[in-house]
Structure 1
Amino acid sequence: MKTFLIIVPEGGMLFEAAGIADILTQANRLHAQDDARPLYQLTIATTQPHHVIHGQSGLNLLADYRLLDLDPKQPRDTIMVTGRGVSEEEAEQVVDWLRCAAPYARRVVSICGGAMLLAQSGLLDGRSATTHWRLLETLQTRFPKVKVASGPLYVQDGAFWTSGGVSSGFDLTLALVEDDYGFSLARTVAQDLVMYLRRPGGQAQFSRFLLNQAKSPGPISDLQSWILSNLATDLSVEKLAERVAMSPRNFTRVFTRETGATPARYVAEARLASARQRLEQSNEGLEQVASASGFGNSLNLRRVFERNLQLTPGEYRERFSARALA
């Protein structure tokens, strides 16, 4: 039997912890058909001085223990952190406990923003890891020793497993079951719960490029608006610099300073965002989408989607188009 401790910080999405607990419990139930001994002994701990975990939805979860009452040096198979909490004090408490507990655990796992706490503890230094797509740049900036992977739903590096946002924790948990007890059990659990054992694509398919806006009104801000209305035109650095009467070198420096992104990156993200929106909200053909978004043809569009989202444009449309168009 493997011990499985889930640390649930305050103010998160409780369906993460509840769903993970249900997956592990389902593995126990299916195994019980052949052997009454459970595969997992599950414990939920709160970071609070009481036993009630408050979720952001207003719902509450009753924990088995308070983290401060658990001995970090007790041997455990798996320690999982499902979020980063709502305060620095709470985060530091978890980080300190993890530093002490990690040497006595077979593996340490994070869901979503929980990777920030693993990184803060130093456990991810020199390792590959991921987190929610909104936190990827923050994780890389704050913890440069971590090798941040932006595409996968989850990443394993030795004894440390990290996952992307929210429901990707379910993908990771099925992978843990497979790692522990084999493919057949993990597949059966997934089928019983009507889940993918291997969900197609990575978390990049769910991310949204947040186009950086200039810090203040002016030529760069006006140019950004013009770019969004003229994606099919020549948007090379030279042409954009000419439009605002700057040298290419000075334009690149000013644009990057004002927006936090190079002109080339901004244009690439704007074009991809436009293509995604058209695939989601229109019945336009792929050639039309590619032309209007500035990719020229459907082959270029496909290459960009596969490189950035690990999906073809057709697969993206199938998964994310408006219900009225599906």
Structure 2
Amino acid sequence: MSNRLVLIVAPPLATLQDVTGAWEVFCRAELYAPGTYDVALVSAGTELVVETKFGLKIICERSVHEYQGPVDTVLVAGSEQGVSGQADPAFLDWLQHASSRTRRMGSICTGAFYLAHAGLLSDRRATSHWRQLQKLAGEFPDVTVDPDPIFVRDGNVYTSAGVTAGIDLALALVEADCGHGVSQAIARDLVLFLQRQSDQPQLSTALAQRMADRDPIRHLQRWAPDNLQALATVEDMAAYVHMSPRNFARLFKLQTGVTPGHYIRQLRLEAARRRMQELSGNAEAVAAQVGFGSTRSLRRSLRGNARSGHHKA
């Protein structure tokens, strides 16, 4: 079987890591599964020199318009041009025609806007960078925008969240082609803390929640993720900062915008998802490590979070 042709498309003012992250993953696959891919970095227009968002220029091998035959995978990098609605009509036309001869069409970050403008996301689920989800949903009401996952598959169309989520999407595509061992080896090469799955949230609890502007609440927020076993209750959290539970709860909500119970529950769920992957689903060990009282409580919390985690933006 001939090598699978993978096109990484760089539009004008592309986000550099959208391009290089996916490129690195597919190229490294050749180290572990030689002959699987033929990877090409291509421009979305006729110019082969593409200036990225912060001025660095990259030289593409070819223009996307030179590819008129079958393609295995197309991944379009994000760009402000796509978000602002200034996409080259010729490129959108190429996407429309290529979709019928491409096994997998995909986007990284705001590259979803190019797919949407080309009509490839109509009546599909999709995601994008969290800052642009509302704009994507507003401009394309026929697209079901999912704000939570780091990437979404709907049929043969894939969309990812912002920037580094493109690496997660590329790893998932490689895993589908070459197996878990290959994708895991690549993740280790890239020194990734965790090979994230599609249903993991775009933002971790530490990033999504507001950091308190002063100690001792801020110190607690920094200490808590690595010490969940010691924080079984809100009273434990209050004791750590030497405050009464009532005063602590009031101050925590004032400085972070959420209750301490909600905050610690989200930390536990996030840690549980990560540990379940690392420990191959050993629920008993995970429950003990992240502070759930029992495996039943852990499973109930994970099911409840999954039911409430997907909604239309």
- How far does the alpha carbon of each residue in 1:242-281 deviate from its partner, in whole angstroms, 9 at most, with x for none? xxxxxxxxxxxxxxxxxxxxxxxxxxxxxx53x5666998
Look up the match of 1:197. Answer: 195
Q: What corresponds to 2:31 in structure 1?
A: 29
Are residue 157 (structure 1) and residue 154 (structure 2) matched?
Answer: yes
- For residues 105-149 of structure 1, the C-alpha deviation after alignment (integer angstroms, 9 at most, x for no partner) is 011010000111111222111211100000100111111111111
For 2:203, give the aligned amino acid: A
Q: Offset at 1:175? A: 0.3
Question: Aligned partner of 1:163: which letter?
Answer: S
| CA deviation profile, 1:272-301 (whole Å, cap 9, x unmatched) | 53x566699821475476422257853243
Aligned length: 240
Q: Trace 1:112-131 onto structure 2 (pairs within 5 A).
A: 112-131=109-128
Single out whichever of 52-61 and 156-165 deviates more from structure 2: 52-61
Matching residue of 1:219: none
Question: Using the alignment, how far apart are the partners of 2:99 and 2:80 within structure 1?
Answer: 19
Q: Which amino acid is 1:283 matched to?
A: H
Give TM-score, length-normalised by structure 1.
0.65
SS in 2 for 1:83: coil
Partner of 1:80: 75
2:140 is the alignment partner of 1:143: yes
TM-score by length of 2: 0.68
Secondary structure of the corresponding residue to residue 7 of structure 1: strand
* Residue identity opposite 2:168 in structure 1: D
The answer on whether the counterparts of 1:83 and 1:111 sit within 8 Å (CA) in structure 2 is: yes
Q: Post-superposition shift, 1:101?
A: 0.7
Aligned residue in 2 for 1:283? 219
The CA distance in 2 between the partners of 1:145 and 1:297, in whole Å, is: 36
Q: Residue by residue, what CA displacement relative to the aligned partner does 1:167-211 show, whole Å, maximum 9, x if unpaired? A: 1100100000011111111111111221222269421338978xx
Question: 2 CA distance for matches of 1:18 and 1:46?
Answer: 13
Change (3 A) 1:129 1:297: closer
Could you list the runs of 5+ residues in structure 1 that have no partner in the other structure? 33-37, 210-271, 316-326
For 1:123, give the aligned amino acid. Answer: L
SS at match of 2:219: coil
Match of 1:19 in 2: 21
Give the distance between the partners of 1:133 and 1:279, measured in 2 at CA. 29
Q: 1:3: how far off?
A: 0.7
Q: 2:46 aligns with which of 46, 49, 71?
A: 49
Query: 2-side partners of 1:10 and 1:126: how far apart?
Result: 27
**1:183 and 2:180 equivalent?**
yes
The residue type equivalent to 1:18 in the other structure is T
Distance in 1, matches of 2:28 and 2:73, equals: 17
The residue number in structure 2 matching 1:298 is 260
RMSD: 3.0
User: Could you tell me how far apart the structure 1 residues matched to 2:113 and 2:131 are?
Assistant: 12
Q: CA distance change for structure 1 residues 167 and 300 in 2, over 3 Å: closer, same or farther?
A: closer
Paired residues of 1:174 and 1:186 also in contact (CA < 8 A): yes
In 2: Cα distance, 1:48 partner to 1:276 partner:
46
Question: Structure 2: where are the runs of 5+ without partners?
Answer: 222-236, 239-246, 275-313
Computing the radius of gyration from Cα coordinates, the structure with the larger value is: 1
Q: CA deviation at 1:302?
A: 3.5
Letter in 1 for 2:28: Q
Report the 3-state secondary structure (helix = DSSP H, G, I; strand = E; otherwise coil) of the residue aligned with 1:203.
Answer: coil
- The percentage of counterpart residues that share the same residue type is 30
Deviates further, 54-63 or 153-162: 54-63
* 2-structure distance, mates of 1:180, 1:279: 49
Tell me if the contact between 1:79 and 1:105 (Cα under 8 Å) persists in the aligned partners.
yes
Secondary structure of the corresponding residue to residue 90 of structure 1: coil
Give the partner amino acid of 1:301.
Y
Distance in 2 separating the partners of 1:50 and 1:70 = 15
Q: CA deviation at 1:75?
A: 0.8
